[in-house]
Structure 1
Amino acid sequence: MTDPQVEPPLGGRDRLRELLDAVTDASNSGVSDMARSSHASEFHFSREVRRLTGESPAALRRRVMLERAAWRLQRGEAVSAVASDEGWSSAEVFSRAFRRTYGLPPSQAADVHFRLPAPNGLHFHPPQSLWLDSSPTAGVDDADAPDVSRLLVAHDLDDTAQLLAQAAQLTPQQWVAEVAPGQTVLEWDGPEPSVGAVLGALVWTKEVWLATIAGEDFPPRSSTQPAFVAAEALAAHHDEIAKRWGAMVSEYSAAGRLGDTVIDALCDPPESFQLYGIVAHVLTYSAHRRELARAMLAGHGIAARRGDPLEWMRGT
């Protein structure tokens, strides 16, 4: 039997969240009520919950409610109030269920951990939330564990591409219009007063660091300056740079070499930079520039998505 899998939401709709809301809603007294509130037949609701979580709706609800009850008891709440709120018919019935599950009576709730064994990593999370373990059986060295740095790199590249796509709606005059005179992010990059200048700097920064790491010649700035390149051409150039940047980070990360140091003789005087510091530097100022570009586009009447990694992960 395969382990139950909790699937990511598609198209911005978090179906798992909808199902869990139905399961844990105190007003739903049975599976038929749960199914009705999630707009599904009882058969399909039960099958979908079991497919996604590895538990029946009733078993999942009972376990989560017991976890919440144990947590509330640990906070000093009365057994009768907890039993009533969590859907048991009486304090006596609740006490028997609690003892059978935890091995101790409710009066000794302080001696138990409120989390119970779960086939899916789904648990009650105080005060009114749920927690989903990424992998109930995985160890800390799991090679497939989520990597926040890879997430941030991928999000940065994708969000930049989206901003460039939106910028293609600007007129040539708007692309170079100095809507923020004197705006400077980093003094050695010079002023970035226009949408084109900010987006150009986003691309050029990665291009410069790629050249430094690869030992290549310093790239020409004209390939990313708004006076010489339109939004569409910059977007195409970004596609190339993004592939190289993502590949570089992945390769050095996989080889365990992000701690390597490059001594940049192009600086005066020469400076040394560790690769993970370079990546952090780029991500920090990319995030800042993306927000500048978003605000400047809005000033031109061009809407762009908010750039929130959480929304990006949901596909919204």
Structure 2
Amino acid sequence: MAEHGRDRLRGLLDAVLAGTDSAAGEDRRRLDDMASDAASSPYHFSRLFSRATGEPPVAMRRRVLLERAAWQLARGTSVTDAAWLAGYGSLEGFSRAFTRAFGRPPSSPATGSHWLPAPNGIHFHPPMSLWVRAEEQVMDPLAEQMVAHDLDDTRVLLEVAKGLTVEEFQAVREPDLTVLSWDGPEESIGAVLDHQVASKEVWLAAIEGLDLPVRDDAPDAASLLERHDALASRWLATIRDIDRRGAWNDRLIDALCDPPESFVISSVIAHVLTYAAHRRLLVRRMLTTAGCEVDQGDPITWLRSQRGETP
């Protein structure tokens, strides 16, 4: 892989990580910039890099900068400074990305390694080097993408629903609609979104051995968004932990059921994702009837945005 006496992979990594050793925040380095440094077209550069590392260049840069931010936070750097150094234009954007990646907010005490799952074993190593870990075990990318897309897409819908009046939010739009018989009717935008959030809250309680969460009889979109944000990082961290332990075929004896029932963990996650996808499509249809503009929620489009790609 030598090119002009240099290791080709090293050259590609240099192009991706150029500028990360500086203190010049507001990093907006794009694929075009990386390709230019590597004397390549964006398409050719992205294809070469992804083939060599198993990870798109923009996604790797974002991940390594988040790993560096976690290391900095553990050593006393403020959340604001860490966000700025990682190239985020807003504290909210950084906090959301960090929480989604590490399963905890950046303001919480550091736990475990600052490394994130990587398909290639390439990680941030202080002060600004890379470490390549051999034979790293990572969560299946399809499972990771499905879980992350569900969380992100639900949040998008809740943000749109915040623009509705209370009457619009609670209006009956699908008379007699029932998604699951034991959940009761879900005839309004509010009812469907409430069940969307509550489903994960209930299963998290069962997995973590906690009491059933107390639910508001008529929650508004803002309170549902707060509940969603509070559970999202826990849900992702729980699934990553299940994967790390190889516990997909373990059984959960759910004492919250009457009588108690036994569930295979993998079937629980599949159940939640299946009905979450169904409810997201229902909410989109209802939001459209309420006059809201909403995208299609296509995971292809979502994944492209996560990787910094353009259609």
TM-score interval w.r.t. the shorter chain? 0.5 to 0.7
Secondary structure of the 2:237 match is: helix
The Cα of 1:54 is off from its aligned counterpart by 5.4
Alignment of 1:241-260 (within 5 A): 241-260=231-250
Contact 1:176–1:197 under 8 Å retained in 2:
yes
Specify the code of the residue in structure 2 equivalent to 1:179: R
The Cα of 1:146 is off from its aligned counterpart by 5.1
Distance 1:48 1:281, change over 3 A: same
Distance 1:46 1:261, change over 3 A: closer
Query: How far apart are the structure 2 equivalents of 1:267 and 1:46?
Result: 58
The Cα of 1:52 is off from its aligned counterpart by 4.3
Partner of 1:236: 226
Q: Identity of aligned pairs, percent?
A: 42
Partner of 2:292: 302
The Cα of 1:298 is off from its aligned counterpart by 0.6
Larger radius of gyration: 1
The Cα of 1:119 is off from its aligned counterpart by 7.1
Alignment of 1:1-316 (within 5 A): 1-3=7-9, 4=12, 47-49=39-41, 51-52=45-46, 143-144=137-138, 147-222=141-216, 225=217, 227=218, 229-315=219-305
Secondary structure of the 1:272 match is: strand
Partner of 1:93: none
Specify the code of the residue in structure 1 equivalent to 2:251: T
Query: What do residues 196-249 of structure 1 show as CA deviations (whole Å, max 9, x unaligned)?
Result: 000000000000001111111122232xx4x2x211111011100111111111
Secondary structure of the 1:269 match is: coil
Query: What do residues 19-47 of structure 1 show as CA deviations (whole Å, max 9, x unaligned)?
Result: 9xxxxxxxxxxxxxxxxxxxxxxxx6992
Specify the code of the residue in structure 1 equivalent to 2:220: A
Structure 2: gaps (5+ residues): 1-6, 17-27, 55-118, 121-134
Secondary structure of the 2:259 match is: coil
How many residues are aligned here?
Answer: 205
When structure 1 is superposed on structure 2, of 179-188 and 143-152 the one drifting more is: 143-152
Query: How far apart are the structure 1 equivalents of 2:224 and 2:243?
Result: 28
Distance 1:250 1:179, change over 3 A: same
Distance 1:233 1:119, change over 3 A: closer
Query: How far apart are the structure 2 equivalents of 1:119 and 1:280?
Result: 32
Query: How far apart are the structure 2 equivalents of 1:287 and 1:252?
Result: 21
Secondary structure of the 1:262 match is: strand
Contact 1:252–1:258 under 8 Å retained in 2:
yes
The Cα of 1:168 is off from its aligned counterpart by 0.5
Query: How far apart are the structure 1 equivalents of 2:158 and 2:302?
Result: 16
Contact 1:53–1:120 under 8 Å retained in 2:
no
Structure 1: gaps (5+ residues): 20-43, 56-117, 122-133, 136-140
Query: How far apart are the structure 1 equivalents of 2:53 and 2:246?
Result: 32
Specify the code of the residue in structure 1 equivalent to 2:183: D
Query: How far apart are the structure 1 equivalents of 2:138 and 2:290?
Result: 42
Query: How far apart are the structure 2 equivalents of 1:248 and 1:145?
Result: 12
Partner of 1:34: none
Query: How far apart are the structure 1 equivalents of 2:53 and 2:229?
Result: 39
The Cα of 1:305 is off from its aligned counterpart by 1.9
Query: How far apart are the structure 2 equivalents of 1:238 and 1:290?
Result: 14
The Cα of 1:142 is off from its aligned counterpart by 5.5
Distance 1:280 1:52, change over 3 A: closer
TM-score (norm 2): 0.58
CA-atom RMSD in angstroms: 3.3
TM-score (norm 1): 0.57
Query: How far apart are the structure 2 equivalents of 1:169 and 1:291?
Result: 18
The Cα of 1:143 is off from its aligned counterpart by 3.0
